[in-house]
Structure 1
Amino acid sequence: MLHPRRSAQAVLLCDLCETVPLQRHCELCNINLCKTCVGEHLSDSSKKHNVVSFSYKKSTPNYTKCKKHADKHCELYCKKCDIPVCCTCISKQHKGHNLCDILEILSSKTETLQKDLEELEIRIYPRYEKMAFDVQTEKAELQASYGKLTTAVDQHGDVLHRAITAIVNQRKSDIEEMKNNHMAALDKNTYQITQRITELRKIIEDLKKILNTKDVSLTSAYKSRNGQFRHLPPKIHITLPNSSPSKINKYQLSNMFGCLSPLSITTEEQVYTIMSPEAVSSPPVKPLLDEPRLTATIDTGYNTLFSVSCLSENQVWTCGNDEIMKLLNLQGKLLTSVQTEPGNEPEDIAVTRDGYLVYTDTNTVNLVKNKQIQTMMRLQGWRPLNVCSTSSDDLLVTMFSDDRKQSKVVRYSGSTETQTIQFDDQGSPLYSSGSYYKYISENKNLDICVADNEAKAVVVVNQSGKLRFRYTGHPSNTNESFTPRGITTDSQSHILTADFRNHRIHILDQDGQFLRYIQNCDLRRPYGLCVDIRDNLFVTEWNTAKVKKIKYTL
């Protein structure tokens, strides 16, 4: 049975009978034919047909018919008039004009189209999506912020009891009106962004169609609108009002609540600026060491060790084959520990930007604050695997379905699911099925990197979930099986993944190009990975239950 997101590839049929697969193409009439219908088509002797194999047609430019000379194709281009022309037009309307082969124009226009499409898809469109996401997040937090104001008013109103009930209600009404105006401003901003996103999708779709059809007329008529969309919608800045009550005075009840500061709604113009290639490719450089150095070894006390996550340069959280998660220093001293319910071992751990511990277990994602465990998400029909905290303090969680037939990545903002990543543009699964390890990390460019152990690949998608590349090991090592486990990224946007069976770490650049191995630090079965703020690498060894700290950059 086909996957619900897949569909069979359509068979191209003859344009005349519409029943038999096409085999020929008439270049004059631009019509696709089967062998049977070729004779019928050639019976029209009023035209000089040119029937070729369809496979040949695919590699032949789709020349536009001349509008003034129906039996001619436009194989030239008039630069002065900026239009395609045929050979007959040259000696009449375009005599003496600057002419060139239309394929030159086609090549130039196609290159422009490709660059515009790439900019829209990879740079501009994701920024619109992030803006929309940020506004939704602000709206979600708005209720709590205004709730605090309402509570403050209620508390002051309780002191004055019944005598000032009317004033309390009036003030709450003022706050409600401000909240509604605030929400309306954000709704308007969301509508503007959504409208732009709709336009962008349509433009992207049209550009792809033009590139696929190779239609000279459409290509030559194309005018770039990228400049219009580089001017991003304005970002709204709203200053929340505050309540400043005054001392109680029985003669001036109406003034005892002080004043609410006015609701301030402003906009900030935003323009997406294309960085120069030099700026894009030249971040502050920290060269890789020719010989990485082992600088510390931590004995964790587990029988087998899974994951590690940095709390600081000198403290790491670890989890292994029991219910206890340990915070250790570089000397292996136990600083604190957190125990889960008996028989409920943690699957993976991560440290949030606020320094809190997050872990996954059989069917929940949990947050630890002051050694108290809070369940953030309880999954239905899915089981969590691995987790990471993002630059925006979201959580990315890999998971598989209860029937072990599907896998996906889900983004959570707080406890709210905001994004699901599961299929590529063709509807095929991005990740292998089943309960196999899928460690996850967010790169500095906001790419989402998953070490898919069963697929023997590192799968990288952009912030929107669009597949960028798959890394399946260094191409020269055809006899060795790539077995990725842990994955992490550093300040240089390097991607580091543990090759479990080959006892080494692969270092890639942000585009998936292999840079080098870390394999000379006596690594044994490397499993979990993390880096600290100085790009020191921490590696867990599965069978020795040790964490090794490695310096691999200057």
Structure 2
Amino acid sequence: MAAKTYSAQHFVECDQCEENPAQYFCKNCPGQLCKECKTEHKNRKITKNHEITELNTKNEAFFGPLFCTDHKTKQIQCFCVHCKIPLCTECIIESHNGHAIQKLTKAYKEIQDDLQKKKEKIEEDLLPKYAMLLKTENLKQSDFSKQAQEIEKEIKAHTRQLVRIVKQVGKNATEDFQAKLHKGLQRIVDSEVEIQRKIEKLKQTKDLLSAKIETKPTVSSFEPVNERLLDEFEKLPVLPKYHFSKFQPGKIESMIEKNFGKLPILKIDTAKPNEGDSDIDSQEEEVEEEESDSEVPYNLRLVQESRRF
């Protein structure tokens, strides 16, 4: 029989053909069967009297047999609400007497519902939000680079008007500006990487939850889900805005070494998400370089260095 392909699907596999999704459960074997193998199972002489039931999480038969981890020969019968674990009759007598208990099907449904809610939270809320954040950062990087290019053109145009010594000042100033630009772009890249990391982690968490939801229950299926599983994703990161102050040309007739111009300052506006461009809730951060050991003014220092060439 040709193998069937079920691409991009998650299902409980038939234990007999190991190809098709299981739809039935044999209570005698036990084993999970697809529609074709169920027919074959009933037609065999040795298994024709086996009791086969539909594979359904609402059906009690779906939970058998599961054996107690403490009492290996005892099947689990119920779920302890207080301790959050499945129990056999021995467990109830020995250490859970008086505790509130639930039917396995009800406990399992509550766990599955919780997993489904977290999965939907990722799909419908967190992933779209993080995708939008990433898109915003991509656009921001382009705009920031364009602004930097325009400012760099102004710096170069101003530099061309000066003598050789002023050109050297312009060269050093451009390198200084590029360092600021690199620092700003690196902050954006770091932000994108962190957002992408959280997106990947959300997808992995979603896949794990999907696997738990769609896999045949075992004793481990009753382990409580970490209530803080999605805490690190609930609060979206505060993403700053990046821009430069305008390049301010100096007066050429003045002392060249003191009037090359005020270089742009890399400014990072930090605002809470979804609050727009409100100046009230935003904070502006100016990224400046560490002061040199020398007390010589920056522009004059560049002029002195250029005289060596």
Q: Same fold (TM over 0.5)?
A: yes
- Could you tell me which residue of structure 1 aligns to residue 25 of structure 2? 25
Matched residue SS, 2:265? coil
**Runs (5+) with no aligned partner, structure 2:** 1-5, 275-309
- Could you tell me which residue of structure 2 aligns to residue 53 of structure 1? 52
Counterpart pick for 2:237 among 233, 254, 261: 233
Separation in structure 1 between the aligned mates of residue 261 and residue 173 of structure 2, nearest angstrom: 10
Separation in structure 2 between the aligned mates of residue 148 and residue 21 of structure 1, nearest angstrom: 61
Separation in structure 2 between the aligned mates of residue 236 and residue 8 of structure 1, nearest angstrom: 38
8 Å contact kept, 1:75–1:85: yes
Separation in structure 2 between the aligned mates of residue 21 and residue 198 of structure 1, nearest angstrom: 28
- Could you tell me which residue of structure 2 aligns to residue 247 of structure 1? 251
Separation in structure 2 between the aligned mates of residue 233 and residue 15 of structure 1, nearest angstrom: 46
Letter in 1 for 2:260: F
Letter in 2 for 1:102: L
- Residues 283-302 of structure 1: matches in 2 within 5 Å? none
Asked whether 1:181 is paired with 2:216, we answer no
Separation in structure 2 between the aligned mates of residue 127 and residue 12 of structure 1, nearest angstrom: 32
- Residues 8-407 of structure 1: matches in 2 within 5 Å? 14-16=14-16, 18=18, 25-27=25-27, 30-32=30-32, 34=37, 51-53=50-52, 55-56=54-55, 60=59, 62-63=62-63, 64-213=66-215, 215=217, 217-224=220-227, 225-249=229-253, 252-265=255-268, 267-268=270-271
Separation in structure 2 between the aligned mates of residue 125 and residue 176 of structure 1, nearest angstrom: 34
Letter in 1 for 2:197: Q
Separation in structure 2 between the aligned mates of residue 135 and residue 20 of structure 1, nearest angstrom: 44
- Cα separation, partners in 2 of 1:22 and 1:139, compared to 1, 3 Å: closer
> How far did 1:184 drift?
0.5
TM-score scaled to structure 2, two decimals?
0.70
- Residues 420-435 of structure 1: matches in 2 within 5 Å? none
Separation in structure 1 between the aligned mates of residue 136 and residue 188 of structure 2, nearest angstrom: 11
8 Å contact kept, 1:106–1:220: no
> How far did 1:140 drift?
1.6
| Number of corresponding residues | 258
More strand by share: 1
Separation in structure 2 between the aligned mates of residue 8 and residue 125 of structure 1, nearest angstrom: 20
> How far did 1:191 drift?
0.7
Letter in 2 for 1:241: S
> How far did 1:204 drift?
1.4
8 Å contact kept, 1:76–1:84: yes
Deviations 1:170-191 (A, max 9, x none): 1111111111111100010001
8 Å contact kept, 2:236–2:273: yes
- Could you tell me which residue of structure 2 aligns to residue 447 of structure 1? none
Separation in structure 2 between the aligned mates of residue 227 and residue 202 of structure 1, nearest angstrom: 15
- Could you tell me which residue of structure 2 aligns to residue 448 of structure 1? none
> How far did 1:11 drift?
10
Separation in structure 1 between the aligned mates of residue 7 and residue 19 of structure 2, nearest angstrom: 20
Separation in structure 2 between the aligned mates of residue 218 and residue 141 of structure 1, nearest angstrom: 49
> How far did 1:270 drift?
5.0
- Cα separation, partners in 2 of 1:235 and 1:179, compared to 1, 3 Å: same
- Residues 451-470 of structure 1: matches in 2 within 5 Å? none
8 Å contact kept, 1:156–1:245: yes
Matched residue SS, 1:32? strand
More helix by share: 2
- Cα separation, partners in 2 of 1:141 and 1:238, compared to 1, 3 Å: closer
8 Å contact kept, 1:25–1:51: no
> How far did 1:207 drift?
1.9
Separation in structure 2 between the aligned mates of residue 154 and residue 75 of structure 1, nearest angstrom: 80
Separation in structure 1 between the aligned mates of residue 170 and residue 21 of structure 2, nearest angstrom: 77
Q: Which has the higher contact order (CA 8 A, sep 6+)?
A: 2
Matched residue SS, 2:113? helix
- Cα separation, partners in 2 of 1:207 and 1:54, compared to 1, 3 Å: same
TM-score scaled to structure 1, two decimals?
0.41
Separation in structure 1 between the aligned mates of residue 96 and residue 147 of structure 2, nearest angstrom: 69
> How far did 1:12 drift?
7.8
- Cα separation, partners in 2 of 1:69 and 1:201, compared to 1, 3 Å: same
TM-align CA RMSD: 3.5
> How far did 1:92 drift?
1.6
8 Å contact kept, 1:192–1:233: no
- Cα separation, partners in 2 of 1:161 and 1:205, compared to 1, 3 Å: same
- Cα separation, partners in 2 of 1:235 and 1:105, compared to 1, 3 Å: same
> How far did 1:231 drift?
1.2
- Could you tell me which residue of structure 1 aligns to residue 278 of structure 2? none
- Could you tell me which residue of structure 2 aligns to residue 401 of structure 1? none
Separation in structure 1 between the aligned mates of residue 237 and residue 151 of structure 2, nearest angstrom: 30
Letter in 1 for 2:154: A
- Cα separation, partners in 2 of 1:220 and 1:83, compared to 1, 3 Å: same
Separation in structure 2 between the aligned mates of residue 20 and residue 118 of structure 1, nearest angstrom: 27
- Cα separation, partners in 2 of 1:18 and 1:205, compared to 1, 3 Å: closer
8 Å contact kept, 1:243–1:258: yes
8 Å contact kept, 2:57–2:105: no
> How far did 1:29 drift?
6.3
- Cα separation, partners in 2 of 1:87 and 1:158, compared to 1, 3 Å: same
- Could you tell me which residue of structure 1 aligns to residue 290 of structure 2? none
Greater mean deviation of Cα atoms: 196-205 or 99-108 = 99-108
Deviations 1:411-456 (A, max 9, x none): xxxxxxxxxxxxxxxxxxxxxxxxxxxxxxxxxxxxxxxxxxxxxx
8 Å contact kept, 1:110–1:219: no
| Identity, % of aligned positions | 22
8 Å contact kept, 1:17–1:37: no
Tell which structure's C-alpha radius of gyration is larger: 2
> How far did 1:150 drift?
0.6
